[in-house]
């Protein structure tokens, strides 16, 4: 098969996907019309013209304001359902989807509206697409630790619908230690944990060390700056720690796919995986990310198969559910 056929056909798990990052311009217009929201941009090309990112800050400045079209549980369902159908076309059989409740509760949308809309799409994906879908609640790190803790408390009655918690948004001046207490409580409540350690942020390597040694996360999102410390790489390898890499997203926020870092970790036996992050904004769903990385780094079909195996190994599927897919 061609690279394209192989990448699309490969059964895979997607582990780093922000549901709010799957909002395509067409759906944004439909939801705006349904909810009577006035938008500054009137055409798809006017919307995509605003996707002129040079770094994480300029991306987030476009990303958060777009969310105001999301208001009802049906809206959240429709967003996740559109993504899940697309993921199926890309060979995804299991997905662990991030969502940012505080991006919605902070503008008056109830927590239950967000979670129940997303959950209905996840259940529907299993039944109608044969795709298993779980939710990971992400705290926004530029909000306070108190607001994160309050959000965690709000999530407790929904434990059965939320497999774990993560941490995203702007890492600058918001290191992992700020959320140590929140994550300790989340673990005590039985949630699995992951945190974004964004590419080339100030203090990146130190943050990765904190996340591994002090927070004790079950996975790391991005985290490829770990290559700067071979001893820490060896520790991550021994522990079988998963890294959720997003090559096309990297190329938007750092102007590099970080191919050498991702492939270097792969060659050393670290459990790196390939994911799409915010596919509607970066123009690449998950198989597109496998293809982009393979073309840039000259990866073989066997390398792509290893990345897909890693995606199941690093996933939070239970063993029973895993055997149902492989």
Binding site as annotated, residues for substrate:
278
Q: How many residues does the chain have?
A: 326
- Whose Cβ is closer to ligand ES4: residue 21's or residue 223's? 21
Chosen residue from 277, 282, 288, 317 binding Zn ion by CB under 5 A: 277
Q: Is 16 in the site for ligand ES4 (CB under 6 A)?
A: no
Nearest to 131 by CA among 169, 97, 162, 158: 97
Query: With contacts defined by CB under 6 A, how many residues of the chain interact with ligand ES4?
Result: 11
Q: Does 56 bind ligand ES4 (CB under 6 A)?
A: yes
Q: Does 21 bind ligand ES4 (CB under 6 A)?
A: yes
Binding positions: 16, 18, 196, 277-278
Number of shown-chain residues binding Zn ion (CB under 5 A): 1
Minimal CA–CA distance to 263: which of 296, 311, 220, 308?
296
The token pair at 258 is 């970080």
Angle between helices 301-313 and 259-267 (to 10 degrees): 80
- Looking at beta carbons only, is 96 or 278 nearer to ligand ES4? 278
71 binds ligand ES4 (CB under 6 A): no
Nearest of 16, 14, 39 to residue 27 by alpha carbon? 39
**242 contact choice in ligand ES4, Zn ion, none (CB below 5 to 8 Å, kind-dependent):** none
Smallest gap from Cβ 102 to ligand ES4, in A, equals: 11
Task: Give the DSSP per-residue string, 141-175.
Answer: TTS-HHHHHHHHHHHGGGGGGEEEEEEES--TT--
Partner from Zn ion, ligand ES4, none contacting 169, C-beta within 5 to 8 A by type? ligand ES4
Window contacting Zn ion (CB under 5 A); options: 121-129, 147-155, 183-191, 277-285: 277-285
Window 74-93: residues binding Zn ion (CB under 5 A): none
Position 96 contacts ligand ES4 (CB under 6 A): no
CA quadruple 90, 91, 92, 93: dihedral positive or negative?
Answer: positive
229/223 Cα distance (integer angstroms): 12
Contact between residue 92 and residue 13 where contact means Cβ atoms under 8 Å apart: yes
Which of 102, 113, 151, 169 forms a contact with ligand ES4 (CB under 6 A)? 169
DSSP 20-76: GGG--HHHHHHHHHHHT---S--SHHHHHHT---SSHHHHHHHHHHHGGG--SHHHH
Residues of each annotated binding site for Zn(2+)? 16, 18, 196, 277
Under rule CB under 6 A, residue 14 binds ligand ES4 = no
Query: In the set 277, 291, 314, 317, which binds ligand ES4 (CB under 6 A)?
Result: 277
Closest by CA to 68, choosing from 44, 43, 34, is: 34
Identity of the residue, 78 or 277, whose beta carbon is nearer to ligand ES4 in the bound complex: 277
When the beta carbons of 104 and 196 are compared against ligand ES4, the nearer one is 196
**Closest CB to ligand ES4: residue number:** 168
**Burial class for 63, CB neighbours closer than 10 Å (0-12, 13-18, 19+):** buried
Q: How many other C-beta atoms are found inside a 10 Å radius of the C-beta of residue 195? A: 29
Least distance in Å: CB of 303 to ligand ES4?
24
CB of 196 to Zn ion, least distance (A): 6
Q: How far is the CB of 21 from ligand ES4 (least distance, A)?
A: 5
Ranges within 195-214 binding ligand ES4 (CB under 6 A): 196, 198
In terms of Cα–Cα distance, which of 1, 12, 20 is closest to 90? 12
Q: Which residues bind ligand ES4 (CB under 6 A)?
A: 18, 21, 56, 168-169, 196, 198, 249, 253, 277-278
Q: Which residues bind Zn ion (CB under 5 A)?
A: 277
């Amino acid at each position: 098969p061609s690279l394209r056929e192989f990448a699309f056909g490969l059964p895979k798990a997607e582990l780093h996907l922000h549901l709010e990052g799957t909002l395509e311009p067409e759906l944004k217009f439909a939801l705006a019309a349904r909810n009577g929201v006035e938008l500054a941009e009137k055409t798809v090309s006017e919307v995509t013209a605003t996707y002129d990112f040079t770094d994480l800050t300029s991306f987030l400045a476009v990303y958060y304001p777009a969310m105001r079209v999301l208001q009802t549980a049906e809206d959240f369902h429709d967003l996740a359902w559109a993504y899940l159908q697309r993921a199926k076309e890309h060979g995804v059989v299991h997905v662990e989807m991030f969502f940012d409740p505080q991006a919605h509760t902070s503008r008056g949308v109830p927590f239950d509206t967000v979670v129940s809309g997303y959950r209905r799409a996840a259940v529907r994906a299993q039944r109608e697409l044969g795709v298993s879908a779980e939710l990971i609640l992400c705290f926004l790190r530029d909000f306070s630790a108190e607001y994160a803790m309050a959000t965690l408390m709000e999530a407790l009655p929904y434990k059965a619908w939320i497999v774990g918690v993560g941490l995203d948004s702007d890492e600058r001046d918001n290191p992992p230690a700020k959320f140590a207490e929140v994550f300790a409580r989340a673990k005590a409540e039985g949630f699995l944990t992951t945190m974004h350690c964004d590419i080339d942020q100030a203090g990146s390597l130190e943050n990765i060390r904190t996340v591994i040694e002090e927070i004790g996360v079950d996975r790391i999102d991005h985290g490829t700056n770990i290559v700067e410390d071979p001893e820490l790489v060896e520790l991550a390898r021994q522990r079988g720690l998963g890294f959720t890499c997003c090559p096309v997203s990297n190329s938007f926020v750092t102007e590099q796919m970080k191919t050498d870092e991702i492939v270097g970790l792969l060659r050393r036996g670290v459990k790196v995986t390939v994911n799409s992050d915010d596919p509607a904004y970066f123009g690449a769903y998950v198989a597109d990310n496998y293809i982009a990385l393979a073309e840039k780094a000259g990866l073989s079909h066997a390398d792509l198969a290893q990345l897909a195996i890693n995606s199941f190994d690093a996933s939070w599927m239970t063993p029973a559910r895993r055997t149902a897919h492989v």
